Amino acid sequence: MESNAGDDDTSKNLNDFEKANLDEAQESRLLGGRKEKYVDLGRKICVTILVVAFIVGLITFIIQIDPNNQSDSCHDNDGLVVSIIRKVMPRKQPQPDKYTQALRKALMFFNAQRSGPLPKHNNVSWRGDSGMKDGFIGQNLVGGFCDGGDAIKFNFPQSFAMTMLSWSVIEYSGKYKAAGELNHVKEIIKWGTDYLLKTFDSSADTIDRIYAQVGTGDTSGWTGKIDTPNDRYCWMRPEDMDYPRDVHECHRCSDLAAEMAAALASASIVFKDNKKYSKKLVHGAETLYQFARDKRGRYSADITDASIFYNSTSYWDEFIWGATWLFYATGNTSYLERATS
Ligand SMILES: *[C@@H]1O[C@H](CO)[C@@H](O)[C@H](O)[C@H]1NC(C)=O
Ligand SMILES: *[C@@H]1O[C@H](CO)[C@@H](O)[C@H](O)[C@H]1NC(C)=O
Ligand SMILES: *[C@@H]1O[C@H](CO)[C@@H](O)[C@H](O)[C@H]1NC(C)=O
């Protein structure tokens, strides 16, 4: 009923408009090749048919692009109006140059490696939520990035990766912006630093441990029976893991703590406009660095499983790396001295 009323109104309006003098030229342009039919059927009927046809066409069009009909779409979050504009506007965007394409694809690697509850716009169609029970009672370790072909979460390589991404944003944010990827890369860094902040008591001023790894990869003791599944002899999609995953912690891990300090300190520069978050990152970095200095040791001596994959031989290089980023983040010259003396 409602839509009938709408049709009538529209045709009435058109008729009024018409009466208010459409000249011959305008009429033939509006009605195109149908002018003869129009003459045969009479103005009123023909205009009504055109209006009805237009509305039916519009409805069909809207149903066809209904976001609910395309759950795999990259544009799930876009409103209907944006979708219509996308469909209607000719897409004449020039192909981005090869470096921009390579940059996009490189960043998509991190989207694909995400662990935890994925944002809607993650735009990797074959990935879903995973590791939703990582951690243990009182220690939520959901999130972060899977390492490589397996789903273990190692803090050490994650920290280095986040530091490198932050450094690239600090140096080249203009280029990221021009490529339309600045928000994307910042989102990836925050995904990493949010996770790193969960792996130690980031609100405390002093700490005595880091939850440095989730999941186990050592298969040397495997008996051939899958009684305690681990990430490598029970290799599966992260989305399908349904067994509890080990959490490995370290208590003397100068190399790891200073590496994490570098990641948080560099990210604090990337997020300097978000004062609260930036401050939180700096505080975490300083706490980690102090822990690194106070409790000397190699993290992979504490965590034998990590020594198989990312063994560390000393922590002096991380002391310099962490102190350098802390100096950039805080301007505190005592870190500069640590890095240079
Ligand atoms: C994926 O989504 C991000 C936004 O999170 C966007 O910047 C990026 O261009 C998208 N990549 C592709 C290949 O769709
Ligand atoms: C790890 O490095 C230490 C120190 O260099 C070394 O003693 C140890 O054998 C290494 N472990 C592995 C599994 O390579
Ligand atoms: C600089 O950092 C050191 C720790 O290395 C700290 O003791 C000192 O209070 C800091 N100085 C300022 C001005 O924040």
pLDDT for residue 87: 67
Q: How many helices (H) and strands (E) does the chain have?
A: 14, 5
Q: How far apart are CA 67 and CA 63, in angstroms?
A: 9
**Ligand 1, pocket residues at CB < 6 Å:** 74, 104, 108, 121, 123, 181, 184, 187
Ligand number with the minimum distance to the CA of 300: 2
Atom of ligand 1 nearest to the CA of 105: 13
**Ligand 3, pocket residues at CB < 6 Å:** 332, 334
Is residue 44 scored above 80 in pLDDT? no
The matching CATH number, chosen from 3.65.10.10, 1.10.150.20, 1.50.10.10, 3.40.50.2020, for 99-340 is 1.50.10.10
pLDDT for residue 90: 62
Atom of ligand 1 nearest to the CA of 183: 7
Beta bridge partners of 145: 114
Q: Helix (H, G, I), strand (E, B), or coil: what is residue 184?
A: helix
| Among protein residues, the one whose CA lies closest to atom 6 of ligand 2 | 313
Quick: pLDDT tens for 194-241.
999 999 999 999 999 999 999 999 888 777 666 667 888 778 899 999
Quick: pLDDT tens for 45-91.
656 667 777 776 666 565 554 444 443 333 344 566 666 666 666 66
- φ, ψ (nearest 5 deg) of residue 252: -130, 100
pLDDT for residue 3: 40
* Residue 2 banded pLDDT, cuts 50, 70, 90: very low
- Ligand 1 centroid–CA 180 distance in Å is 9
Q: How far apart are CA 284 and CA 191, in angstroms?
A: 16
Quick: pLDDT tens for 319-334.
999 999 999 999 999 9
Q: How far apart are CA 37 and CA 46, in angstroms?
A: 8
pLDDT for residue 24: 42
User: Comparing C-alpha atoms, which of 127, 132, 120 is closest to residue 71?
Assistant: 120
Domain ranges of the chain: 99-340
- Ligand 3 centroid–CA 330 distance in Å is 9
Ligand number with the minimum distance to the CA of 305: 2
Share of the chain above pLDDT 70, in %: 73
